[in-house]
Structure 1
Amino acid sequence: MSYTLKMKLWRGDRSGGELQDYDVEVENGEVVLDAIHRVQATQAGDLAVRWNCKAGKCGSCSAEVNGRPRLMCMTRLSDFDPAETITVTPMRTFPVIRDLVTDVSYNYEKARELPSVELPPRDADGKRRMMQEDVERGQEFRKCIECFLCQNTCHVVRDHEDNKPAFAGPRFFLRYAELDMHPLDTVDRRKVTREQAGLGYCNITKCCTEVCPEGIHITDNAIIPMKERVVDRTYDPLVWLGNKIGIRDKDRDSRSEI
């Protein structure tokens, strides 16, 4: 069964823009992206929207639907009252390129700052071995589709543009955690996570976790454990003493040689 959906879509570019009204015919079972495509096909051929897979796996169609960061391809029209007006705006944290398309290059800049994985030498038989339980700990983090909704909703950068140079954001704290928890990686990223990635700015409100379309427990399983590791190395008096006299550093060096 079809019905007429009322939509407000943000139209504009870097210099500014405004919401424009559209009435579009939609069908039961469709998603917001379907309605956007129909507006594009019938009323606004120049409407800019980024998308690719339409299956919730590419992370391209991120936007704000009625003020909430969501994937348009995974937001069903049936979640709204048919008489309700659906408002779609670009992600607020990133600069607008045009209409619903934003410039997310900030995220790629942060990705380049990540220290890469460094593995120890292979075993005598040429293999590397890990315990399955160690592998499973970081498995959840690899589900990230880089939609950057967590970055968009994080108030540290959403409300404070000047924090961006010193703050990596939840997507990359997830990556720092994934690498730091890798059972074979030999790099200690705790100092970099605190001083360069700005982990201390995060006050674990869990807004990033709430909008993750993959259901990753970003705060509980990645950010909080990383905070605990940073605090342990920086403020624990016994660890501080061990670092001061070189015990911890020697121990880490010996492990990396194994």
Structure 2
Amino acid sequence: MSGYEAHFKVWRGDARGGGLEDFEVEVNEGEVVLDVIHRLQATQAPDLAVRWNCKAGKCGSCSAEINGRPRLMCMTRMSVFTPKETITVTPLRTFPVIRDLVTDVGYNYAKAREIPSFVPPPGLGPGEYRMFQEDVDRPQEFRKCIECFLCQDVCHVVRDHEDNKRAYAGPRFLMRAAELDMHPLDAAADAGLDRKRAAQEDHGLGYCNITKCCTEVCPEGIRITDNALIPLKERAVDRTYAPLVWLGSRIRRRSS
């Protein structure tokens, strides 16, 4: 398709307020939304604030909402829209606006610090870890996360209920908790840390009602709900309600 003029509506403003502004911007074959936003900066709105870095779908910086759907601007091709279609670009709704398309995602970094890190197994040094390949493969999917925070943005638990942010880590960090909980060499239990209890009581696992909206927007195709959140919920429930699992945990706790 040769070049054409596209109608964009871009949110402009800051923490005090703002609104959508209309622009007609040139679009060329093979371009993505971020290309057009850069052209808009260069030709009509030099003070437009937008966060980006790699332009290759690997840094997660250019997250925004395009026609209401959380997306990476650098991975959203203009060819998915018709030339006559109005394209609306707004900041991530779940997080406070700093200016224009840039939001304050500090909530996510605060939640990241609350997830206890991997606990090395005692008595093993670097290079001495041994795992079955299937145990390596299971959590490897979750390590593809680029921390674009689109899953955090679309999760209605915090998107529609600001008060939940204090108690709820969100899908990205519950996925991190699930990854560590299924790691066969994580010695958190030996250190007195129950990751399933922490996920349930400290990080708000019970708030998640598995709508799979986080999975649907993940640009890396991670099956967050099916492979991380649901299994973690099942293990947390077993810990609390399955008689043999409960008894075993009590015996281990008493012996330790």
TM-score normalized with structure 2 length: 0.94
Match of 2:253 among 236, 243, 249: 249
Q: Does structure 2 conserve the Cα–Cα contact (< 8 Å) formed by 1:141 and 1:174?
A: yes
Alignment correspondent of 2:191: none
Report the Cα distance in structure 2 between the residues aligned to 1:146 and 1:88, rounded to whole angstroms: 20
CA contact (8 A) 1:239 1:248 kept: no
Q: 1:68 to 1:51 in 2, by over 3 A?
A: same
Distance 1:16 1:131, change over 3 A: same
- 1:199 alignment counterpart: 205
5+ residue gaps in structure 2? 189-193
Whole-Å separation in 2 of the counterparts to 1:126 and 1:139: 19
Matching of residue 2 in structure 1 with residue 9 in structure 2: no
Percent identity between the two aligned chains:
74
Structure 1 residues 45 and 127, CA gap change in structure 2 (3 angstroms): same
Conserved? CA contact 1:122–1:128, under 8 Å:
no
Partner of 2:39: 38
Q: 2:245 aligns with which of 213, 231, 239?
A: 239
Aligned residue in 1 for 2:195: 189
The corresponding residue for 2:218 is 212
Q: Residue 176 of structure 1 corresponds to which residue in structure 2? A: 177
Q: Is the 8 A contact 1:91 1:152 kept in 2?
A: yes
Q: CA deviation at 1:126?
A: 6.5
- Runs (4+) off by over 3 Å: 122-126
Task: Quote the Cα distance in structure 1 between the aligned partners of 2:112 and 2:127.
Answer: 31
**Aligned equivalents of 2:148 and 2:168: distance in 1?**
18
Deviation at 1:248, TM superposition (A): 3.4
Stretch deviating more after TM superposition (204-213 or 182-191): 182-191
1:52·1:58 contact (CA, 8 Å) conserved in 2?
yes
Distance 1:61 1:125, change over 3 A: closer
Match in the other structure for 1:151: 152
Residues 21-100 of structure 1: matches in 2 within 5 Å?
Answer: 21-100=22-101
Whichever residue aligns with residue 241 of structure 2, its letter is Y
Q: When the two structures are aligned, how many residues end up with a matched partner?
A: 250
- Change in Cα spacing, 1:60 to 1:191, as seen in structure 2 (3 Å) is same
State TM-score, norm by structure 1: 0.94
CA distance in structure 1 between the partners assigned to 2:122 and 2:246 by the alignment: 29
Determine if contact 1:12/1:99 at 8 Å carries over to the other structure. Answer: yes
2:51–2:61 Cα contact (<8 Å) kept: yes
Distance in 1 (CA, whole Å) between partners of 2:123 and 2:43 is 59
Q: Distance in 1 between matches of 2:150 and 2:23?
A: 25
Q: How much does 1:207 deviate?
A: 0.1
Q: Which residues of structure 1 form unaligned runs of 5+?
A: 254-258
The alpha-carbon distance between structure 1 residues 125 and 163, as it changes in their structure 2 partners (threshold 3 A), is: closer
Cα distance change, pair 240–124 in 1 and its aligned pair in 2 (3 A): closer
